[in-house]
Amino acid sequence: MLSDVEALAGSIGPRGTGSPGEWTAAEYVAGRLTGMHWPVERFTCRAVATQNAFPLSVDALALAAVALYPVGGPAGRWIAAALALAAAPLLLYTIRSSTSPLRGFLPHVDSVSILARQAGERTPRRRVVILAHLDTNRVRLAWQSNMRRALVPLTLLTLGVLAAIGILYLWGALAAGPGWVWPASLLPAAYVLGTVVTLVREERGAYVPGANDNAASVAVALELASRLHAEPLVQTEAWLAFTGAEETDHAGLRSLLRRYGPELRQADFIGLEGLGGGEIVYLARQGLLCHYRPHASLRTLADTVARRHPALGVGPAEMTVTDEVGTLRRAGYRAICIAGRDPSTGTLPHWHRLDDTVDSVEADALQTAADFVWAMLHELDAEAEGSACAPL
């Protein structure tokens, strides 16, 4: 598994969404799967180019409102109020869903994903999808492991500042523009402008090597592919999805769901995140402000596997990070996230940092993650074999 991490995070290196690195990583994964005699599908999608496009578009609305309010007359005040009032809900929508109603206006890139499917030895009664994303993020000032404790307060502050501008301008529109409203809005507007400067500065930064996030998880998924080739499940059809654009808008996953929606509606999804170090955990609660939990059946399954394999030392945890499991759960799919957790930061190891390099990945963590997910697959397969459900 370490050789796959080295190939992805070392030889290929940073793999920004839609970048040549992401495409090269996809071809590497496709070649590894083909070498194991898995049939491989490639599919592309249009993805938002960067995570920061969402907050930048929201901030642009708020600053447009600030510019319009003092010069637009009564109609302009109402338009400014509408723009400013939309800002906080739009940001909250993005936090919750990893996309935005403004998505069509944002810069896009072509992203690529890889899918491999293997039927069980008998007519399958169950379908399981292993998810591991190919792309990496830039170095982030707030969205990184050392700032984890500040994420919620900073997010609440930003939402409050955006809402304050909207409330001020609504009052100004209703009260026919008292002269103090616009000067009072300049302080929160300065905060928004500072946020824009910070986000633009981030966009000039480097992409991280992504050894933990998420080359380690790709390596674990490839190890599972090798085991499944040697020992196929009996009643369960296994899918391996290596998605692009997880770091921006989950476009790779959304494309997969559009292509195979009916087939995947009753599938079990196991998302893999940051499995290169720290404690290997299954996430019982995750997200920023808008929290989500795994499907109850998969939480029970993980609890059972953890109890039956105590030597692995895997247990439940909570984490602030959001991932593709959030998109799945909010769409009603059965899903759970298996993750690496750095005890010192309470989040993914070396999350969105330049030191997320190959030498930070621990072979024992990779082995533990692979063994735990392998046990989960066999537990799912045993349930399918013992159930009375009809074949897929």
212 and 197 in a common domain: no
336 and 311 in a common domain: yes
How many helices (H) and strands (E) the chain has is answered by 11, 8
Among the ranges given (106-115, 154-163, 172-181, 222-231), the one the predictor scored with the smallest mean pLDDT: 172-181
279 and 218 in a common domain: yes
% of the chain exceeding 70 in pLDDT: 98
Indicate the number of domains in the chain. Answer: 2
Is 28 part of any domain?
A: yes
pLDDT at site 369: 98
Give the residue among 278, 133, 138, 277 at the shortest CA–CA distance from 218. 133
Is 392 part of any domain?
A: no
pLDDT category of residue 58 using cuts at 50, 70 and 90: very high
pLDDT tens for 219-237 read 999 999 999 999 999 999 9
CA distance 130 to 298: 13
Is 88 part of any domain?
A: yes
Q: Which of 157, 174, 203 is the last residue of a domain?
A: 203
197 and 87 in a common domain: yes
Is 242 part of any domain?
A: yes
128 and 174 in a common domain: no
pLDDT at site 36: 97
pLDDT at site 390: 60
CA distance 392 to 388: 12
Cα separations in angstroms, 265 against 112, 269, 320, 325, 333 = 22, 10, 27, 14, 6
Domain that holds residue 191: 53-104+143-203
pLDDT category of residue 180 using cuts at 50, 70 and 90: very high
8 and 135 in a common domain: yes
Is 287 part of any domain?
A: yes
More confident residue, 142 or 361: 361
Is 42 part of any domain?
A: yes
215 and 361 in a common domain: yes
255 with 242: CB under 8 angstroms?
no
pLDDT category of residue 153 using cuts at 50, 70 and 90: very high
Please determine, for residue 7, whether its predicted confidence score (pLDDT) is greater than 90.
yes
pLDDT category of residue 197 using cuts at 50, 70 and 90: very high
95 and 68 in a common domain: yes
pLDDT category of residue 279 using cuts at 50, 70 and 90: very high
pLDDT at site 387: 65
380 and 288 in a common domain: yes
Q: What average pLDDT is seen over the chain?
A: 95
355 and 270 in a common domain: yes
187 and 120 in a common domain: no
Neighbours of 278 (CB within 10 A): 22
316 and 170 in a common domain: no
Q: Which of 162, 187, 203 is the last residue of a domain?
A: 203
Among the ranges given (86-95, 144-153, 214-223, 244-253), the one the predictor scored with the smallest mean pLDDT: 144-153
Is 391 part of any domain?
A: no
pLDDT category of residue 388 using cuts at 50, 70 and 90: low
Q: What mean pLDDT comes out for the span 87-103? A: 96
% of the chain exceeding 90 in pLDDT: 90
pLDDT tens for 313-361 read 999 999 998 999 999 999 999 999 999 999 999 999 999 999 999 999 9
Give the residue among 324, 306, 328, 323 at the shortest CA–CA distance from 315. 306
Q: Which of 182, 203, 224 is the last residue of a domain?
A: 203
Strands across the sheet containing 40-48: 40-48, 108-118, 236-243, 126-133, 268-273, 334-341, 279-286, 315-319
pLDDT at site 142: 86
Residue 127's CATH number = 3.40.630.10
